[in-house]
Amino acid sequence: MATSAPTVPGRDDLATIDLSEYDPEQSRLMDERCIIVTPQDEAIGALDKKTCHLMANINKGLLHRAFSAFVFHPQTGKLLMQQRATEKITFPDMWTNTCCSHPLDDFEEEKIEAEQRGVRVAATRKLDHELGIPPSQVPPDNFQYLTRIHYLAPSDGVWGEHEVDYILFITADVTVNPNPNEIRDHKWVDKKELQGMFTAEGNSFTPWFKLIARDYLFSWWDVLLSKKNAETGLYDAQYALKGVVDGSQVVKMV
């Protein structure tokens, strides 16, 4: 017997919340429209970020598309980390990878699925918005897509994440001019320094970054550092990592 395709829950079935007590700019950004997907990453609609990130709706199965971008320095191989701003509504003050955000239904190009075009374009846009990195330094075609993970993580009981998250690596010598409404701090770290951050008292990390670091980051980082581009003499994510991972399936992570 054939089953009907998944659909986005009706508005009357979804919870909402008053954002007047939160930072005005972060509240405004909650009006952006995420792409709603099935667990197989099939786009089935769009809803505002506020609706997508309320645990009451996540617990009903609401799932959206996201990306996690990792910027590595082409000469040192170090990873650019960010600490999320105190003003952030979800996971404030936590350390995480260079940039984590969403392709939006608001932009036609960010809905393109072929060759991960939409998430690549979104990554370039958000690296500029959050870290002030000029788009010319991180063009969409320079990202190396690795895989997609499906995870669920509460933030504070009210808010959380439930995403199909595209993991993107890029090597780039970037200019960083952080947006203080998005970024509390940032630093370049090597593997040993990151491991030290994990064990140091007082640091907290986003749940998606902890999952990626646990299962993937350090082994892929090793591959990146294992060979430089023969022509440039620099670390090159596309040169080192192309074909290393079969990213055709969504990987469920817990």
Which member of 110, 130, 161, 163 is catalytic?
163
Could you tell me which of 177, 69, 49, 179 has the C-alpha nearest to residue 123?
69
User: Of 100, 110, 130, 182, which one is the catalytic site residue?
Assistant: 100
Task: Reply yes or no on whether 99 is catalytic.
Answer: no
Q: Report the DSSP pairing between strands 183-189 and 79-84.
A: antiparallel
Q: List the alpha helices (DSSP H) in 14-170.
A: 24-29, 49-52, 55-58, 117-131
In angstroms, rounded to a whole number, what is the distance separating the alpha carbons of residues 136 and 175? 11
Contact assessment for residue 156 and residue 136, using Cβ atoms and an 8 Å cutoff: no
53 in Cβ contact with 152 (< 8 Å) = no
CA-to-CA distance for 103 and 96, rounded, in angstroms? 18
- Which residues sit opposite 34 in a β-bridge? 47, 104
Please tell me the distance from the alpha carbon of residue 58 to that of residue 174, in angstroms, as a whole number.
35
Displacement of CA 88 from its chain's centroid (Å): 15
42 given a catalytic annotation: no
**Closest CA relative to residue 212, chosen from 92, 95, 75, 78:** 95
CA distance 163 to 165: 6
Residues involved in catalysis: 100, 163
